[in-house]
Amino acid sequence: MADAGGGAQDGQDRILAQRFTQALASAFAADTDLVRRGWCINTCCLVEIGTEQILLTIRDGRPVVAERVPPLASWEFALRARADAWEALWQPLPKAGWHDIFALAKRGAMQIEGSLQPLMAHLQYYKDLVTLPRGKGGR
């Protein structure tokens, strides 16, 4: 997904994507509460931060980030938003309407695509997963 405006925004997208993947690596380095709660989750989802795509294969509650997203990659559901929406979601205490994936979707800042069944079946797991870059400031 290329941005015709390019350049600086692509760099910001990449920085935020790295922030997300680093938060994932830190959170799943040990047996965390998320691993215990997600023990039965086996799926693949796409997280899109602006122009950056992150393909997560989740096995037994542990996400593995693909080295690269292949063309025509297969996933069950996708969460897509611009970088500013992810930044707002990841604030330690996000503003109302920017605090949750469904709040972002309601305001048109995030698109949730694909099969909603795996997302809804383990909703709190995924909400906690995508807010890991928020840190200890809250959920």
pLDDT mean over 81-94: 97
User: Residue 128: which domain range?
Assistant: 8-137
pLDDT, tens digit, for every residue of 30-78? 767 888 999 999 999 999 999 999 999 999 999 999 999 999 999 999 9
Q: What is the pLDDT of residue 138?
A: 43
pTM, two decimals, is: 0.88
Residue 1 is assigned to a structural domain of this protein: no
Tokens, residue 12: 């910001």
Residue 22 is assigned to a structural domain of this protein: yes
Residue 118 is assigned to a structural domain of this protein: yes
Using DSSP bridges, classify how beta strands 42-49 and 77-81 pair: parallel, antiparallel or unpaired.
parallel
Our count of domains for the chain comes to 1
Residue 6 has pLDDT above 80, yes or no: no
CATH of residue 70: 3.30.1050.10
Residue 2 is assigned to a structural domain of this protein: no
Q: Which alpha helices (DSSP H) does the chain contain, by range?
A: 8-27, 33-37, 83-89, 101-106, 116-121, 123-130
